Amino acid sequence: MDRKRAAIAATAALAPAAWGTTYLVTTQLLPEGRPLLLAALRALPAGLLLLLIGRRLPKGRWWGRAAVLGMLNIGLFFPLVFVGAYRLPGGVAATIGAIQPLLVAGFSIGVLGVRPGRRALLAGLVGVGGVALLVLKGGAKLDGLGIAAMVAGIALMAIGTVLTRRWGRPEGATLLDLTAWQLLAGSVFLVPLAAVVEGAPPALSASNLAGFAYLGLFSTALGYVLWFRGIERLGAGPASFLGLINPVVATVGGLVVLGQTLTGWQLLGLLLALGAMLVGQSPSRPAAAAGRAPALAPVSVPAPSSDVLRAAQPVARM
């Protein structure tokens, strides 16, 4: 990997790394039992801030595209993954989230005409195994609804990642604009859903406000801009492998902040996950198809699996 590509990958990896801190921020700073409130207050202020900076609205068909991407990457993804994270132990949720590179690879074949190489597929499988060793605990309880919600959320974001790569950006729009549109489109769904399901928000303390400021500004506004930049520059497939750093950061956070210890198997899992992430940065190849137009550059994806996958811990009520 050349230096420029490595630098882009390193900055894009800051997004899933920030998402990996969500468990600690949520349990230490935010109100308990309000997952939809958390999702709405992450998306709406960040989207408004980026819109004020960019001062650009979608035009023409991009109203529809922004709505689709916003629902896939934000509006539907956030609630589904929160349901999965609340009903499953954190290790199970994180392990399911690690399948995202494999899903992105599959969707990329049909949407982008990009065929993942054997090395990328093997890296995807190794990544799932590494995350499982890192965070999965014996006797973990499996909940059918939680598994279904988690798989659905990860699949929707994988599709969103591939479409983000497919559609790119309209002429003259920046990544800040594209991110703002998606966050606000997701907020249009999340805000009324949170109001109906959870009612009026509670009075927020100073620590609550600090937690929401961190999630909104760093983990969401900056995080998603860097994430979409990674998809645009690296491709959907390579970018999706960066999501493997999410459970790694969550686990390290538990070690540093909560005084947990790392077993030999967890250390092996950490090394496998990091190795898979590095191997997965190799570009994919265009799929051979007679009479087919040249394929776009490879694609991949959030988790950010997902920043709501509390990978290092059993899931606790927020």
Tell me the per-residue pLDDT of 284-308, one tens digit each, with 9 for 90 and over: 555 544 334 333 333 333 443 333 3
Q: What is the pLDDT of residue 21?
A: 79
Q: Give the tens place of pLDDT for each residue, 244-285.
A: 888 787 777 767 766 666 778 778 888 888 888 888 877 655
Please give the torsion angle defined by the CA atoms of residues 121, 122, 128 and 129, in that order, rounded to the nearest 10 degrees. 170
Average pLDDT over residues 55-62: 94
Q: What is the pLDDT of residue 54?
A: 92
Q: Is the pTM of this model over 0.85?
A: no
Distance CA 317, CA 94 (A): 17
Distance CA 18, CA 94 (A): 15
Crossing angle of helices 62-70 and 175-198, rounded to 10°? 50
Q: What is the pLDDT of residue 179?
A: 95
Structure tokens, 262: 């790392």
Q: What is the pLDDT of residue 295?
A: 39
